[in-house]
Amino acid sequence: MRLPKAGTIEVVPSILSADFARLADEIAEVTSAGVGMVHLDVMDGHFVPNITIGPPVIAKLRRVSDLVFDAHLMISEPAKYAEPFVKAGADHITFHIEVADDPRKLIDKLHELDCSAGICLNPETPVEAIADVAPLCEMVLVMTVRPGFGGQKFMPEAAKKIARIREIVGPDIRIEVDGGIDPQTALTVVSYGADTLVAGNAIFAKTDRIAAINAIRDACT
């Protein structure tokens, strides 16, 4: 599966806030809302203070879903583990500039594996850190919370970086935003140039997940 063409607004449910005891059912429910992607939060307990899932879980989920698997590697050694995640079924992999020894080499490796590549920057990381490599990617991920846990408060100053990134990458590369996204903040980040909205609690903390997804979509129109 490939990332949708840049410019179309995509609401991307983050499984970090889902019920891990019934992930297949949770993904099926958001699929019925017409989403095209699901965000897989991969944490190693080192780069971020939490541990989530690895390739074996993704491989199992791949058997039950045709959605684009958008894997966000919040790990200290993305180059070491990128290939196992691709082989498990990840369609797109985003890694952090803060831990990438040679981001260009990793981007090339992902492309060789027929996987799209993304670069991510934390709230405190300046846009200049990714300026050279962002145009080589299919997507740039802007964190509007500090990575590691769901349910955090949206950081408006971090979101403002989106406008500068859009200037750098132009219209043909997706800009994804992760952290505190709900109908109110979604409108803000889209106004800056984002087109890919990761939402966790705003979807999975609601009884009606389809209505929650539609509320975010409607806020951006």
Write out the catalytic residue numbers.
41, 178
3-state secondary structure 176-191: EEECCCCHHHHHHHHH
Q: What's the token pair of residue 80?
A: 């070491």
* Start-end of H helices in the chain: 23-31, 55-62, 78-88, 103-112, 156-159, 161-169, 183-192, 201-204, 209-219
Q: C-alpha distances in angstroms, 71 versus 38, 189, 206?
A: 8, 21, 23
3-class DSSP assignment, residue 96: strand
